[in-house]
């Protein structure tokens, strides 16, 4: 693997996002191939074509946020990350949001190509998300690793070990997941 390049999702990268989810993201797990990382944005129960279409619209409207990782110019990873308020589904999944006045960025999903797993791609994406949160003036980065994933696929929120290695700590215990947080510090020029 050459050096991983991480780019923030924008409408100009929509085709890369779709290529990644069409052919790379779930090549080894086709049962999940209809997600297009949409579960936190809209009900994902209309099949692959509708999920793809809705994700494409969200990207075009600048309402889906995150980062794509590239190796040799090809997308090999994805991280869905934005201000917590931009994820309508988090409210029913996690219950009440941050305490009044807290500015929180949520990291809800990682997808890394099978060929690039366990090589630090997710950590590169995590660093990019935290850096963007700092630039946006957010106070915390928050994530939701599954406590006892029944398979590697259920580590889609990112494994707890990755967060702990990157300065996160347990914020709150929940039913089947843990809420972890990291206090963000401003970038020094």
What is the bridge-based pairing of β-strands 169-173 and 66-71? unpaired
Look up residue 178 and give its two tokens. Answer: 């843990």
Return the half-sphere exposure (C-beta side, CA atoms, 13 A cut-off) of residue 92: 7
Report the b/e string of 133-158 with b at 16+ CB within 10 A.
bbeeebbbbbbbbbeebeeeeebbbb
CA dihedral 145, 122, 8, 154 (to 10 degrees): -40
- In this prediction, the residues of the chain whose per-residue pLDDT falls under 70 are 1, 42-45, 91-101, 187-189
Distance CA 53, CA 59 (A): 10
What pLDDT is stored for residue 43 in this prediction?
61
CA–centroid distance for 165 within its chain: 17
What pLDDT is stored for residue 161 in this prediction?
95
Q: What pTM was computed for the model?
A: 0.91
What pLDDT is stored for residue 90 in this prediction?
74
Domains recognised in the chain with CATH numbers: 5-183 (3.40.630.30)
Taking the CB of residue 28, how many other CB atoms lie within 10 A of it? 13
Range list of β-strands (E), the chain: 5-8, 66-71, 74-83, 104-112, 140-143, 169-173, 178-183
What pLDDT is stored for residue 45 in this prediction?
63
What pLDDT is stored for residue 69 in this prediction?
98
What pLDDT is stored for residue 105 in this prediction?
94
């Amino acid at each position: 693997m050459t050096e991983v390049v991480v780019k923030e999702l924008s409408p100009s990268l929509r085709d890369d996002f779709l290529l990644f989810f069409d052919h790379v993201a779930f090549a080894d797990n086709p049962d999940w191939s209809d997600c297009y990382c949409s579960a936190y944005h809209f009900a994902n129960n209309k099949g692959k074509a509708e999920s793809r279409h809705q994700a494409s619209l969200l990207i075009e409207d600048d309402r889906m946020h995150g980062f794509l990782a590239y190796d040799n110019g090809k997308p090999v990873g994805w991280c869905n990350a934005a201000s917590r308020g931009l994820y309508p589904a988090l409210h029913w999944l996690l219950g009440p949001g941050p305490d009044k006045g807290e500015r929180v960025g949520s990291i809800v999903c990682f997808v890394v190509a099978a060929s690039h797993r366990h090589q630090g791609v997710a950590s590169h994406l995590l660093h990019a998300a935290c850096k963007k949160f700092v630039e946006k003036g957010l106070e915390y980065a928050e994530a939701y690793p599954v406590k006892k994933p029944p398979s590697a696929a259920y580590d889609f929120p990112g494994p707890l070990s990755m967060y702990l290695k990157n300065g996160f700590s347990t914020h709150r215990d929940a039913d089947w997941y843990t809420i972890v947080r990291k206090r963000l510090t401003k970038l020094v020029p």
